[in-house]
Amino acid sequence: MDGRFDPTMPIRRRIRRGCVFPFRHETNRTERGAFVPCGRGCVTSESMEDLEVLTWPLYGSASKDLALMVSDDGFKPDLILSIARGGLLIAGSLAYALGVKNLHVMNVEYYTGRGERLEFPVILPPPLTLVDLESARVLIADDVADTGHTLAMVRDYVTPQVGEVRTAVIYQKPISVMQCDYVWRHTDKWIDFPWSTDAALVSPHRSDGLS
Separation of alpha carbons 54 and 143, rounded Å: 11
Q: What is the DSSP letter of 44?
A: B
pLDDT given for residue 72 in this prediction? 98
CATH of 56-196, one of 3.10.129.10, 3.40.50.10790, 1.20.1250.20, 3.40.50.2020: 3.40.50.2020
Amino acid at residue number 140: I
pLDDT given for residue 173 in this prediction? 97
What 3-state class would DSSP assign to 108?
Answer: strand
% residues pLDDT > 70 (the chain): 68
pTM of the model: 0.73
* pLDDT tens digits, one per residue of 134-168: 999 999 999 999 999 999 999 999 999 999 999 99
pLDDT higher than 70, residue 206: no
pLDDT higher than 70, residue 169: yes
Separation of alpha carbons 82 and 193, rounded Å: 17
For residues 87 and 142, the answer to whether their CB atoms sit within 8 Å is: yes
Separation of alpha carbons 75 and 55, rounded Å: 28
pLDDT higher than 60, residue 35: no
Report the mean per-residue pLDDT for the chain.
78
Domain boundaries along the sequence of the chain: 1-46, 56-196
Give, for 184, the enclosing helix (H) or strand (E).
Answer: strand 182-186
